[in-house]
Structure 1
Amino acid sequence: MKALSAGVRTLVWLAVLAAIGFALYAFVRSRPQDVPWTPLDLSQPIGMFTRSKIGGLKDDFAGCRALLDAAGVRYTALPPRDGGAQCGYDDAVRLNAGGSRDLAYAPAGVGVSCRVAAALALWEWQVVQPAAQARLRSGVARIEHFGSYSCRRLYGRDSGAFSEHSTANALDIAAFVLEDGRRISVVGDWTAGQGKADADKAAFLRDVRDGACGVFSTVLSPDYNAAHRDHFHFDQASRGMGGACR
């Protein structure tokens, strides 16, 4: 009886392990973006490890460009730039109109690090457009920005650490122009007014800010400080598994 009981227990444990294995297999098949070892795919929804996978492209410019190519993002690889001090870049791309991206940037042809470009593509498709449809009943036609590359220190100070802008590893987002012509700006619509339309605009801005936290290592908004009252700051600074979202 004891031998039989031990055998039964073994069979039960094998059955449990098999069930767990099948469940993990099904999960990996249905949510590959939530598994750390699956390759990054810009066609997949944002998952638990998407941000860290994008961060892992830091020293893989060719691999990052291959991801953009596979996703249909049109771009031009920029030649390396030596800005002296701690400025310049060797992994930047200029985003071009067309391809699978349905919106434009203004000013046009913004140049950013490839990791920022990959995150922007996911953010546009998985966050910005769904949030605009849900909150404002219109798609987004254009994103206005304050630029990317700028050889400067944090907050333009004379000393201290250099900004991620100094390597084109950041982009400041100012406003969104909808397909129906409405313009939603960070400076004008972050704080809701009296009506439902104002509340929807403010909610949209918070949706796109919160959603950016899944693909950018740093996301700063008016909630962070007064210096960001008129824009969102997105960058891909190396932060390990953690991120800054405020």
Structure 2
Amino acid sequence: MNERFSPRLHLWLAIAGIAFRFVLLITGLSAALWFALIHFPDAYNPFTPPDIREAPTVVTPLKLRGLAGEYEICTSVVRASGAKAERTSISSATEGCGMERGLRLQQSRISYGGGIDLTCPAMTALLMWERHVVQPAAQEHLGSEVTRIRHMGTYACRNVNHSAAGRRSGHAAANAIDIQGFDLADGRRITLLSHWGKETDEGRFLAAVHEGACSIFPMVLGPDYNTLHADHFHFEISRWGVCR
């Protein structure tokens, strides 16, 4: 009888051994993940809110997406940066348009020529970009500060590429902003239409702010994307990532 069942017993012992090693592996990985979340710096922990005052990291886009459903936390993040913004909303009877809860920027380190309305995650990304990308790039390539960022708007109830049909643009939910140019403290004006793609200080500055935006905004489109973006950058908080 023992000889008859010994192969089956050996099989079950082998299965039990494999299962035991699998449990040990899962336990070890879980412990490692718990340790990482507890001891990793907040800047690299995707489950902690971003800090606009700190330089972006590889997990910044994940942090920004995580703010989408955390309006109170997000507004605290914006205010902690020193920027002034008021709560606002945009109502629309058109399907897929409007912004239920967002922010109107009243004051930051750089002028935008008036208040701009964005969702809180998009506002957070914009403030990060101007602080950690725009001003450092301006000093490096142009030797002057940016005093104004010229934009072409944030909210617009429309489809992608102004098409009559198709999916809604990020602008329809105030999740996007189009950047056209920059004014400098020394009086110069930098525009994408005049300076993009040129081997000049102005061209290198535009390339730097475009590249830097890609480390913050999930979607960044510029003149190299298509002719519709020949004169502006499109920055958007989106579900997928594109850097063109």
- After TM superposition, the score normalised by the length of structure 1 is 0.81
> What runs of 5+ residues in structure 1 fail to find an aligned partner?
1-19, 193-197
Structure 1 equivalent of residue 112 of structure 2:
105
- The answer as to whether partners of 1:83 and 1:151 remain within 8 angstroms in 2 is no
Residue 202 of structure 2: SS of its match in structure 1?
helix
Which one has a bigger Cα radius of gyration?
2
Structure 2 equivalent of residue 71 of structure 1:
81
In 2: Cα distance, 1:79 partner to 1:158 partner: 25
Structure 2 equivalent of residue 33 of structure 1:
43
In 2: Cα distance, 1:228 partner to 1:104 partner: 23
Aligned residue pairs, count = 212
Structure 2 equivalent of residue 136 of structure 1:
142
In 2: Cα distance, 1:61 partner to 1:90 partner: 11
- The answer as to whether partners of 2:47 and 2:63 remain within 8 angstroms in 1 is no
Alignment of 1:17-96 (within 5 A): 28-29=40-41, 32-96=42-106
> What runs of 5+ residues in structure 2 fail to find an aligned partner?
1-31
In 2: Cα distance, 1:118 partner to 1:83 partner: 27
Structure 2 equivalent of residue 206 of structure 1:
207
In 1: Cα distance, 2:93 partner to 2:214 partner: 29
Alignment of 1:81-230 (within 5 A): 81-97=91-107, 101-106=108-113, 108-192=114-198, 199-230=200-231
Seen in structure 2, the aligned counterparts of structure 1 residues 36 and 79 have a Cα distance that, compared at 3 Å, is closer
The one-letter code matched in structure 2 to 1:210 is: E
RMSD: 2.2
- After TM superposition, the score normalised by the length of structure 2 is 0.81
Task: Give % identity.
Answer: 37
Seen in structure 2, the aligned counterparts of structure 1 residues 83 and 74 have a Cα distance that, compared at 3 Å, is farther
The one-letter code matched in structure 2 to 1:229 is: A
Measure how far apart 1:83 and its partner are: 3.9
In 2: Cα distance, 1:121 partner to 1:215 partner: 10
Q: Deviations over 1:82-127 (max 9, x none)?
A: 3421100112211112xxx321003x11111111110011101100
Seen in structure 2, the aligned counterparts of structure 1 residues 83 and 211 have a Cα distance that, compared at 3 Å, is farther
The one-letter code matched in structure 1 to 2:78 is: L
- The answer as to whether partners of 1:35 and 1:48 remain within 8 angstroms in 2 is no
Structure 1 equivalent of residue 243 of structure 2:
245
Measure how far apart 1:80 and its partner are: 4.6
Measure how far apart 1:35 and its partner are: 3.4
Measure how far apart 1:39 and its partner are: 3.4
In 1: Cα distance, 2:236 partner to 2:92 partner: 20
The one-letter code matched in structure 1 to 2:136 is: P
Seen in structure 2, the aligned counterparts of structure 1 residues 60 and 35 have a Cα distance that, compared at 3 Å, is closer
Measure how far apart 1:60 and its partner are: 1.1
Residue 42 of structure 1: SS of its match in structure 2?
coil
In 2: Cα distance, 1:187 partner to 1:80 partner: 31
* Structure 1 ranges of 4+ moved more than 3 A: none
Seen in structure 2, the aligned counterparts of structure 1 residues 230 and 37 have a Cα distance that, compared at 3 Å, is same
